[in-house]
Each structure stands twice: as C-alpha cells, then as structure tokens.
Structure 1
Amino acid sequence: MFTALENCLPTEQDAAFFKENGYWVSPVIFSPDELSEIVEHQDKMYHGDYETGREPICNWLEGRDHPRSLRKTDNSHWSDLTLRKVATDPTIGAIAGKLLGAESIRLFHDQLLYKPGRATAKETANVGWHQDYVYWQCCMEPTLVTAWVAFTDVDLSNGCMQVVPRSNQWGLLSVNNFFEQNLEKQRDMMDIPANEKFETVPLVMKAGQVSFHHALTIHGSGPNTTDHARRSMAVHLMSGETRYRSTEKGDGHFNAQMMKGKDGERFQGENWPVLYPAGSVD
C-alpha cells in the first residue's frame, strides 16, 4: 500500500498560511528518476500512445495540432498508468486534506500541461488570470484545491505560475479566462474588493515540487522564453463531501455530464478515485 511522505506534509502554520493566502508550495515529492519516467509517458500521450487503450477527454497530438500552442490534456490518468500515479499520489492527497481541513480527498480531474519554449510576440502560450471554480460550478461549493506538479524547474523565464495572495477570500470575480493572452488588460478590467490589492507572487519551484492553490485563488502564467518546454500536471482535487449541482454554467463540464440527474449527491465512485486517506476505496 502506498503511503504519504510524512516529511512533505504541511504543518499547522502552513495550513493557516494556505487558509489566509490561498496557496502553499511543498518540498520535492517526486525524484529525478520518477520525473524522467513521467516525462517519457507525457511524450507518449502526444503521439496518441494510450497505454490503457482509453483516450483522454482531449489531447494535443503530434502532426495534427499547432506546435506553438499550449498543450492541455484533460484526464490523462484515464490513458496512462504512470500519469495516473501522479494524479492519484497519496502524498498529494494527504497534503490537500490537511490544507482544506478535509477528512477525505478525491480526484476531480487532471490536466497534463506543456508550455513550449521560445515564445514569440504572437504566440506566447500565456495562461490568463482565472479562478478554477469559475469552470467548476457543477460543484455546490468551492471545496476544491489544485496541486500543480512541476516536472521541470520553473521560474518567470519559462512561465511559472503566479498567484494573487488573499484572492481566495474575494469570492467569484467577473473576469476569468484561462485562454486570455493579454494578462495586463485582463488585470485592469478586474473588479477586486475595496481595500484589497492585486499583487502577484511567482511560484518558483524545483522539478518535483508541488504547489497548491484554492479553487478561488486567482492565478495565471506568462510566456516561456527559454529553449525548453515547461512541463507539469495540474491535479484538481476535491473534498470527499463535494456535491454536484446542475447549473447552466456548470453542466458543460465533463464531470457534470457524468453526474446527470444526481443533484445534491456527492461525487464518488471510480470516476473520482480517493487519494486520501491512502488505500481507501468506495
């Protein structure tokens, strides 16, 4: 049975910081050997080599899609067992549980991400300022957290994630667009609460570290100006008590489509595996 790495778990002070600011960064969780294997399997995805025989929700494919675009694969864990280990890692689950103060944590879905290098003026592959919950309104409450796993070292030069501290306390804002490329214009249009400031913190990380941000935390990222791709996986997680609701804004999400007719019921079952407590099953 897999168990969490105790030396990577947040302290009470770390959990308090997360509650106040909406983000936290872990120590290194994945070793260089593990990361090498993960990257190898990430590249297999882009060639349509699906180990399990099951396709992901969507996927960037070599020879079909634009080579300069941001690659985003939803539910890569359906297709590859190595990537599934990342998306269901027990240490990530235990950290999420302690940060959210939840007794159990389930996978909501994963997004395999690849930001190409050598960004140009017209093709930056930015990620616009957004709150994850704007896309997850099929959930009754924002009882979700994202674990962003760095497969490579990340800093401002290759487009590391940037978060806005305390924005997890601002509620759901009107300006949210993952695909927006003009981050400055988007920021100027954002109506933030009085007496608050839109100040960004870059999450500079070593390969193998994992950042965590709340579903209401505003975040985005700039261009990758280096010669190498920025590689990562966003592991979207939810409290085991998270319930489905049918809404016009939320029903387009594939998780909502798997929950049709189940208003008020918890997300549970094989589509949303348990990460924490480790070894738990339905």
Structure 2
Amino acid sequence: MTTIHKQVNDACLPAREDVEFFDKNGYWVSPVIFSEEELAAIKDHQDRIYRGEFETGRAPVCNWLEGVDNPRALRKTDNSHWSDSVLRGVATDPTIGAIAGMLMHADTIRLWHDQLLYKPGRGPGRETANVGWHQDFSYWQCAKEPTLVTAWVAFTDVDLSNGCMQMVPRSHQWGLLKMSDFFEQNMEKQQADMDIPENEQFTTKPIIMKAGQVSFHHALTIHGSGANTTEEARRSMAVHLMTGETRYKQGTRGDGHFNAGFMKGRDGELFDGPEFPVLYGASANK
C-alpha cells in the first residue's frame, strides 16, 4: 500500500519571491509534489470512493456514486479524507501545509475540508462541464475572516483542453463580490455582470500544471475553469486550508456549511479539534 508523505519536502517550498508573487496576485503553483506511483494509488482510491468502498466505514459528504448518479456530471465529494487513508494523506500532506503556512504568513495551518473532484471527458454520452467564476470565501462565511487558502492537487496533467483552473490575478484584493456560482455554465455573463473595483481589470491566467503539482489560491481569489474537451477525465483534489487564527462567526449564510455544525454555537472561537487536523505547526502529525 502506498503511503503518502510524512515529512516536508524542502525542495518544494516557495522562495521569498514566490511568497511576494502570492501576496500580489493571490495564487502560486508548486513544483511536482506527488510521484507517478503515488498518483496511481490516489486515483485508484478515488475510484473506490465512487464505488462506495469506504475503508474507514465513514461516508464522505455529498459523494457521487457509480450506478446511481449522472455519469456526465461534474463530481464533487466533500471530506473524502474521512473515508480513506490514502486520500487523507493527500488532504493532510505536510509539504502542502508548510507551503500554505509560508504563503499565508501563518504559524499554523489546519484542514478546513477537502473536495475530491472529477471532471468527465468528452466521451460518448458525456457533457462537458464548466466551473463558474467564484470566490471560495463566499461559501465559507461561517469563518469570521478570509484567513483561508486552497491547495488544488492535480492528479492528471491539466491545460486549457481539459479545463484547467483559471485565476484572476489581484482579485483577492477586491474584497468579497456578489458573483460566486460554482455550477454556473455561462461564465461570460458572470464576467459581464461582475462589479469589480474601479481602476481594476478582469484578466485571466490559465494554470497549466503537470500531474503532481499543486496550485495555491487565496480564499478571495476569483477562479473558475472551462470545459474538458478531451477523452480523459480531469482528476484532482481541492485541499481547503485555514490559518490557526481562523474563528467561527455565527449567524451568517455560512451556517449551512457542515463545518459550522462542528462548532456547536461557539461564536468567535477558533476552529479547532480533531475535525480540523493540523498540517503545519507545533501539533502537526500528532
């Protein structure tokens, strides 16, 4: 059985100029972190989740199931790390945690939750699917401040042909906009209706990556992705992370998020405990 990393790979950590790039633009792409052997095991365990084979006996949230759900649909499974040790190894990877800590200037990084993602290829009987423009924080307003970052792990090579992510540079500096819709297919209309700040421009940067690389983006960075026009599925995991200073804010639209339920009404308190394992910091891997 393949074991995902237990120690930080220093060769993958960002340099000072990389951190400055993230500060300015709201995203950064790492070197390759996961090997071909590891990725093969990860994809095998991803398929087990879709077959309803949960190693731990605990089901994830909102899982797509083979033989039940639409095979043409974009698959989004929350908290696959509850169900499978290999996928948990991805979601709690110490190198990802260390990078997030450096980019966010944080002493501690905890897991917010993971999303296992599968964008079907264009094969017979399959639709192509966009991911609409959105800011992750629009769905996470049970957090008091946008002290969160996403690490998007590519399980396959990604470019424009199979729907790579596209970032809007500097958009993390625009505040929270009223424009987010993960499932919106008309991205041109979204852009046209977007109320961006004066003296700013909506420009996009395609994030072309090799399998095993990880892109990082701030919770306020606008991003989305186009259709997968290839024959093969685009596979990935979005590892959503938060700094150790992230606090619960009760009474927002974010109270419907399952993470809010773990706080049991503890308004203003830090998100902590076993539901939010530490990837980076003094208590990591304990």
Q: CA RMSD in A?
A: 1.6
Higher mean C-alpha displacement, 210-219 vs 110-119: 110-119
SS in 2 for 1:44: helix
How many residue pairs end up in the alignment? 282
Structure 1 position 124, deviation (Å): 2.6
Q: Are 1:244 and 1:259, in contact at CA under 8 Å, matched by a contact in 2?
A: yes
Structure 1 position 243, deviation (Å): 0.5
Normalization by structure 1: what TM-score? 0.97
Name the structure 1 match of 2:101: 97
Percent identity between matched residues is 70
Higher mean C-alpha displacement, 21-30 vs 242-251: 242-251
Q: Residues of 2 paired with 1:185 and 1:121: CA distance?
A: 27
Q: Residues of 2 paired with 1:18 and 1:268: CA distance?
A: 26
- Which of 61, 65, 75 is the equivalent residue of 2:69? 65
* Stretches of structure 1 lacking an aligned partner (at least 5 in a row): none
Q: Are 1:128 and 1:221, in contact at CA under 8 Å, matched by a contact in 2?
A: yes
Q: For residue 82 of structure 2, what is the amino acid of its counterpart?
A: W
1:1-282 correspondence to structure 2 within 5 Å: 2-118=6-122, 123-277=127-281, 280=284
Q: Residues of 2 paired with 1:278 and 1:209: CA distance?
A: 26
Q: For residue 72 of structure 1, what is the amino acid of its counterpart?
A: K
Q: Pick closer, same or farther for the CA change 1:48–1:155 going to 2, 3 Å.
A: same
Q: Pick closer, same or farther for the CA change 1:164–1:119 going to 2, 3 Å.
A: farther
Q: Are 1:26 and 1:210, in contact at CA under 8 Å, matched by a contact in 2?
A: yes
- Once superposed, which parts of structure 1, at least 4 consecutive aligned residues long, lie more than 4 Å away? 119-122
Q: Are 1:119 and 1:223, in contact at CA under 8 Å, matched by a contact in 2?
A: no
Normalization by structure 2: what TM-score? 0.96
Q: Are 1:245 and 1:264, in contact at CA under 8 Å, matched by a contact in 2?
A: yes
Q: Residues of 2 paired with 1:122 and 1:15: CA distance?
A: 40
Structure 1 position 123, deviation (Å): 3.2
Q: Residues of 2 paired with 1:238 and 1:66: CA distance?
A: 32
Structure 1 position 258, deviation (Å): 1.2
Q: Are 2:108 and 2:282, in contact at CA under 8 Å, matched by a contact in 1?
A: no
